Amino acid sequence: MSTGNETKSLGLLALAGLKPYQPSADEEYMNEAQMEHFRLLLKAWRNQLREEVDRTVTHMKDEAANFPDPVDRAAQEEEFSLELRTRDRERKLIKKIEKTLKRIEDDDFGFCDQCGIEIGIRRLEARPTADLCIDCKTMAEIKEKQLQG
């Protein structure tokens, strides 16, 4: 059974024209081949997000109209507002992708920021900007829920 993360991962891999990375048995974790795999994945994702931003700008310019009917005007403003919120989230994601690309260049990619263990290739393919291993991420989410609840 496929989960949403697997679908997203396969989507990102397909977007980049990549297949899931298959390390050999004696391959060192985060070697140059793996780093290049993730570099290509992140750049393709960033490019796709940038294209979405460009499409939104073009769409808003083309569709902007001063409707005399207040209901039509309100509907258009709501549509634009939703698009802008989505693009803002994507803009933040682009920054996170660029930060991750910098980590690859600095040879600081693929290891948990908290405990230092390997994050893992499959987790990184599902979420290339991950900077915590699954255990540390789970603990962070539990702590966050406790603080909110």
What is the domain-level CATH number for residue 63? Answer: 1.20.120.910
For the full predicted model, state whether its pTM sits above 0.75.
Answer: yes
For residue 126, the number of C-alpha atoms closer than 13 Å in the C-beta half-sphere is 12
Gyration radius of the chain's alpha carbons: 19
Instruction: Map residue 16 onto helix, strand or coil.
Output: coil
Q: Residue 60's domain spans which residues?
A: 4-148
Write out the chain's pLDDT in tens, 149 residues.
344 444 454 588 998 899 999 999 999 999 999 999 999 999 999 999 998 888 877 777 777 667 778 888 788 888 888 888 888 899 999 999 999 999 999 999 999 999 999 999 999 999 999 999 999 999 999 999 999 87
pLDDT at 92: 94
Instruction: Map residue 59 onto helix, strand or coil.
Output: helix
Q: Six-digit token pair at 111? A: 């290891």
Q: How many domains does the chain have?
A: 1
